[in-house]
């Protein structure tokens, strides 16, 4: 038995086309299966879906009369489990609707079979050479830690993020039913119109910034940000004994390989302020591309802030900016030091999987 979501049924109608542009049922079936390899249908499903829409003007199943039955009979339980077997991502609500039972009965069936809804982990898609680069980075940092056990506490991890008025992606409904954690991941291409661009840094239990960026970041803006805001802020906390305008000579600076970070002027400036002490594209230690899971700002700070900031929808950009500042000021310092400790654990997990995705193991 094939179970389709409303979105998938609409997709069938779109693939069918209209007027003299209609595809055959066989063509619709083939294209749908190419687009949905984990949810293969046959010609009969296409035919029934189109007929239902033609007859009722709707893609939904016809409502069933009577009170929803409870899942007490073996046939109902078997139908539910078969549906989960076909599509492990089906929601408990959809299972209840399709089998005409209460949602609580679905949950009871799942529990009786020791099945749980596991949350999907989103990961940035890795290129072919990325695992080797990630592994090399982890090994280099571990080597530094072998020489200086507090090395990770002397790194300024940095990143930029965009905060939109319309909030963040809701991942609540991304679940998969299984009797054990399937370690299932979904890769996606990441990188997202009223918005605020923010730079921030974390070093041990300190936050550097945040600094707000007018418009989109480019090389000139980033260089000015380094000179006028970032480096002075670092030096204020960790001043060089001979020149308090510069950071201490045991402080490292980390950045990813974004284009604004890679201009010659930026790299020359970092070579001057952090000679042989910056991590990034062409730095003393190469930052591995597509590795947000290795920087505390991506795996902790931005998610934490967005959950706080969007708890109540901000009405305008001024409110949004004020909330970002407020939540950073209210954040316990232990959260920051914990994120640095977690960075070290992630180095180990990344090496265990030879540089591949590892967050599903955490």
111-128 per-position pLDDT tens digit: 877 777 665 555 667 888
- pLDDT at residue 304, as a whole number: 92
For the segment 62-119, what is each residue's pLDDT rounded down to a tens digit?
655 555 555 456 778 777 877 777 677 778 888 888 888 888 888 888 887 777 766 5
Distance CA 339, CA 336 (A): 5
Displacement of CA 260 from its chain's centroid (Å) = 22
Sequence-ordered list of residues with C-beta below 8 angstroms from that of 142, at least 6 positions apart, any chain = 347, 351
Q: Which range is least confidently modeled, 77-86, 126-135, 224-233, 297-306?
A: 77-86
Residue 355 has φ and ψ, to the nearest 5°, of: 90, 0
pTM, 2 dp: 0.63
Binning pLDDT at 50, 70 and 90, where does residue 137 land? very high
CATH top-level class for 126-172+188-361?
A: alpha beta
Q: If you average pLDDT over every residue of the chain, what do you get?
A: 84
- pLDDT at residue 338, as a whole number: 94
- pLDDT at residue 109, as a whole number: 84
Distance CA 159, CA 343 (A): 15
Q: Which range is least confidently modeled, 5-9, 93-97, 193-197, 209-213?
A: 5-9
How far is residue 42 from each of residues 7, 39, 58, measured CA to CA in Å? Answer: 17, 10, 20
Supply 115's token pair: 């099945």
Distance CA 312, CA 309 (A): 7
Distance CA 247, CA 232 (A): 8
Is the pLDDT confidence value at 186 over 50?
A: no
For the chain, residues classed under CATH 3.30.420.10 are 126-172+188-361
Alpha-helix residue ranges (DSSP H) falling in the chain: 6-16, 25-35, 43-56, 74-86, 92-99, 103-112, 130-147, 219-225, 231-237, 264-273, 296, 302-309, 317-330, 333-352
């Amino acid at each position: 038995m094939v179970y389709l979501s409303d979105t998938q049924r609409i997709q069938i109608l779109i693939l069918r086309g209209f007027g003299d542009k209609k595809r055959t049922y066989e063509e619709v079936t083939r294209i749908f299966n190419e687009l949905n390899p984990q949810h293969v249908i046959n010609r009969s499903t296409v035919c029934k879906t189109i007929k239902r829409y033609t007859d009722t003007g709707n893609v939904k199943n016809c409502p069933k009369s009577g009170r929803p039955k409870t899942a007490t009979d073996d046939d109902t339980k078997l139908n539910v489990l078969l549906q989960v077997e076909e599509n492990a991502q089906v929601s408990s609500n959809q299972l209840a609707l399709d089998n005409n039972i209460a949602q609580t009965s679905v949950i009871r069936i799942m529990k009786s079979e020791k099945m749980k809804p596991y949350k999907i982990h989103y990961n940035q898609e890795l290129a072919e050479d990325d695992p080797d680069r990630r592994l090399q980075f982890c090994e280099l940092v571990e080597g530094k830690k072998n020489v200086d056990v507090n090395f990770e506490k002397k790194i300024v991890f940095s990143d930029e993020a965009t905060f939109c008025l319309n909030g963040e992606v809701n991942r609540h409904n991304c679940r998969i039913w299984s009797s054990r954690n399937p370690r299932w991941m979904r890769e996606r291409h990441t990188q997202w119109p009223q918005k605020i661009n923010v730079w921030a840094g974390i070093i041990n239990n300190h936050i550097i910034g945040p600094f707000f960026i007018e418009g989109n970041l480019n090389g000139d803006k980033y260089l000015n940000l380094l000179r006028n805001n970032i480096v002075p802020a670092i030096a204020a906390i960790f001043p060089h004994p001979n020149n308090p305008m510069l950071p201490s000579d045991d402080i490292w600076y980390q950045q990813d390989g974004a284009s604004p970070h890679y201009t010659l002027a930026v790299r020359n400036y970092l070579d001057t302020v952090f000679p042989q002490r910056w991590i990034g594209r062409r730095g003393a230690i190469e930052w591995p591309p597509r590795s947000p899971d290795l920087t505390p700002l991506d795996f902790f700070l931005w998610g934490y802030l967005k959950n706080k900031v969007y708890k109540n929808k901000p009405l305008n950009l001024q409110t949004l900016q004020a909330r970002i500042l407020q939540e950073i000021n209210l954040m316990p310092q232990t959260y920051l030091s914990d994120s640095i400790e977690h960075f070290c654990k992630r180095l180990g997990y990344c090496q265990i999987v030879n540089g591949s995705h590892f967050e599903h193991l955490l």
